[in-house]
Amino acid sequence: MPLLRSLVVATMMAAPVTASAQAGDDTIFAAFAANCLSPYLTADQAVDRIGRTGARLDYYDRAPASDVAPSQVARGTDQRPVTPGTDRRCDVAFDGDHGMAAAEAAIRTLASEGIRTLAPLPETHAAAALPGTTLLAARALNPARVAVVHTGTRPGPTGPETFLSVERLTPDASREAMK
């Protein structure tokens, strides 16, 4: 766990990255920023707003904040099961190796939303770091809810892919993580 904490701290303290993403990648980063932290995002909106960027999308919301039905959308090649202890995932991926730019985009997004309070990484995500992880951190969304943000690169359908992911813990898992 100390190595993982070091990874998170080092990533969050890193100077701006000089390797830039392409314009299309910036559009995907912007779609993630504008949508993935919204508690009101629905599956249809995720497909419309994020899917049209060309990104691969893995999304579910089992406890929507609005009156829509729980949903799941997987428009990628790697449909993963629901992570235990979570009720929502918004995972956006695209071709290329821009993991540090993804971490910067996620950190900017969290800051712009006022989500700055670090939370302990829950047991369910303790082993989630991949070889290409650039950010893996838990943040308190509010006093009762925690989210885990994970960015980096991983194997994709045509080579390395960059990913940005946020998973919201259930109320019970959030309470457990905050102990």
Average pLDDT, the chain: 85
pLDDT tens, 107-141? Answer: 999 999 999 999 999 999 999 999 999 999 999 99
Does 22 or 157 have the greater pLDDT score?
A: 157
Does 151 or 11 have the greater pLDDT score?
A: 151
In this predicted structure, what is the pLDDT of residue 75?
62
Closest-CA residue to 107 (of 17, 2, 6) = 17
Given a cut of 60, is residue 17 above it in pLDDT?
Answer: no
Task: Provide the residue ranges of all domains of the chain, joining segments of one domain with +.
Answer: 2-177
Measured CA to CA, the distance from residue 51 to residue 57 in angstroms comes to 6
